[in-house]
Amino acid sequence: MKVVRYLLKPKDVCIVYDGLLGTQLEVYSDADWAGNRDDRRSVSGIMLMMCGAPVMWRSTFQKTIALSSTEAEYMALSDCVKECVWMRRLLKDIGVEQEGVR
């Protein structure tokens, strides 16, 4: 039922990619520390943006229990770098010129 309500919402809400902003990837990562009260796992969040809009985003529980906030952030950053490398290779394969990563 939630899907039907979502589909009936106004269609003017969308992600807009502005080609004038260039093809530089913007990469963001963040993590909480031991946010899950049941098993003390941290949550990682990553987002890759291009042309002023998100092209990939994800929030997941970390597989390993972090012993510090620095370790939790490092695990999130590691996951983010893997996605960034994959995205850059994909963009190269389809012929999109890269301006770097920020």
Q: What share of the chain is helix, strand, coil (3-state, %, to 5)?
A: 35, 25, 40
Q: What is the pLDDT of residue 35?
A: 87
Q: Does 25 reside within a domain? A: yes
d(CA 78, CA 61): 14
Let me know if residue 66 belongs to a domain. Answer: yes
Q: How many residues does the chain have?
A: 102
pLDDT at position 99: 78
64 lies in which domain range? Answer: 2-93
> Using CA atoms in the order 54, 73, 76, 59, what is the torsion angle rounded to 10 degrees?
-60
| Residue 68 counted as domain residue | yes
Considering the domain boundaries, does residue 16 fall inside one? yes
Specify the higher pLDDT residue, 74 or 6: 74
Q: pLDDT band for position 71 (50/70/90)?
A: very high
Residue 96: pLDDT band with limits 50, 70, 90:
confident
Query: Is 100 within the bounds of a domain?
Result: no
**Is a pLDDT exceeding 80 seen at residue 7?**
no
Residue 43 lies in a domain: yes
Inside any domain, residue 82: yes
Structural domain contains residue 83: yes
Number of domains into which the chain is organized: 1
Q: Would you call 58 helix, strand, or coil by DSSP?
A: strand
Q: Please tell me the predicted confidence (pLDDT) of residue 62.
A: 95
> With contact defined as beta carbons under 8 Å apart, do 76 and 69 qualify?
no
